[in-house]
Amino acid sequence: MDLWWIGLAAFFAAGLTLFSGFGLGTLLTPVFALFFPLPLAIAGTAVVHLANNLFKLGLLVKHANWRVVWRFGLPAMAAAVLGALLLAWIGEMPTWLMWSLGERRFEITPLKALIGLLICSFAALEMSSRFARVALPPRWLPVGGVLSGFFGGLSGNQGALRSAFLIKLGLPKRAFVATGGVIAVIIDASRIGVYGLGDLRTALQPDSTLLLPILIGTLCAFLGTWLGSRLLDKVTLRGVQLVVAIALWGIGLGLMLGVL
């Protein structure tokens, strides 16, 4: 496993969030999946996501709307735990199908098929201009918390759903960012707690061969997010967004077919 490639891929994937219109979880999970087993890819992304949100909140946390945080965040916390537990359970399921191409053999597992499908689905969702205009009434906040938390725990995809439920509240910009950030921290902390009981705990043992690659990937991804956010204004470039979406669909399809 080439540590340079892991570090560079994580750094640029995190930096691309500034131009592609995709969230950190949507971009980083597929990239980590190229190098690590899926549960570790999702857990590593969660660590970066949590660190990034904690850093980003900083002084903004005082602007958070705590009534919204509790209505959305508490259901999200419970659902994130369920999603993370489901991830572990599906990861233990046996292989569905094995196929070969020439001398190469591939395995299609339930976990790869599910995560691949979710990567493709959320990439399409975040590309959709129609979805970007979706704004649901405040009474649906607890439902939004359940959906955002569940998919956050299962695959790391939480931002797009969270925004769809928070956008219509009419919060000032700082309050919107702070409230969303606090909710994201709640979801990330909840799912990392579950991940830490399984594969992540094993991988982070001092004698694990995955320890150094995971640390390098996580640190480089955080550095890419931190550095980019301070040097550049966030702007969506449609061409970059399309290229990234095609790459995400390719990775998702590769997982579903057992190629990756």
Amino acid sitting at position 251: I
Query: Hunting for tokens 């949590």 — which residue is that?
Result: 50
**Per residue in 147-188, pLDDT tens?**
999 999 998 888 778 887 888 788 888 888 889 889 999 999
Q: Which two tokens stand for residue 110?
A: 């339930």
Q: How many domains does the chain contain in total?
A: 1
Q: Measured between alpha carbons, how far is residue 177 from residues 171, 230, 249 in Å? A: 9, 16, 28
Give this prediction's pTM. Answer: 0.82
For residue 6, give the 3-state DSSP assignment.
helix
- Whether 234 and 102 have beta carbons less than 8 Å apart is answered as no
Q: Which two tokens stand for residue 201?
A: 């705990």
Is residue 144 packed enough to be buried (19+ CB in 10 Å), middle (13-18) or exposed (0-12)? buried
Helix residue spans in 92-208 (DSSP H): 110-127, 129-132, 141-155, 159-166, 173-195, 199-203
How far is 248 from 232, CA to CA, in rounded Å?
Answer: 23
**Per residue in 81-97, pLDDT tens?**
999 999 989 988 888 88
- Whether 166 and 72 have beta carbons less than 8 Å apart is answered as yes
How far is 219 from 193, CA to CA, in rounded Å?
Answer: 20
pLDDT tier for residue 233 given thresholds of 50, 70 and 90: low
pLDDT tier for residue 236 given thresholds of 50, 70 and 90: low
Amino acid sitting at position 218: T
Percentage, residues of the chain above pLDDT 90 = 23
Whether the pLDDT of residue 1 is over 60: the answer is no
How far is 107 from 94, CA to CA, in rounded Å?
Answer: 10
Whether the pLDDT of residue 59 is over 80: the answer is no
Helix (H) or strand (E) holding 108: strand 104-108
Mean pLDDT in the chain?
Answer: 82
What is the domain range of residue 34? 3-256
Tell how strand 97-101 and strand 104-108 pair up.
antiparallel
How far is 69 from 189, CA to CA, in rounded Å?
Answer: 15
**Per residue in 9-51, pLDDT tens?**
888 887 777 666 677 778 888 888 888 888 888 888 888 888 8
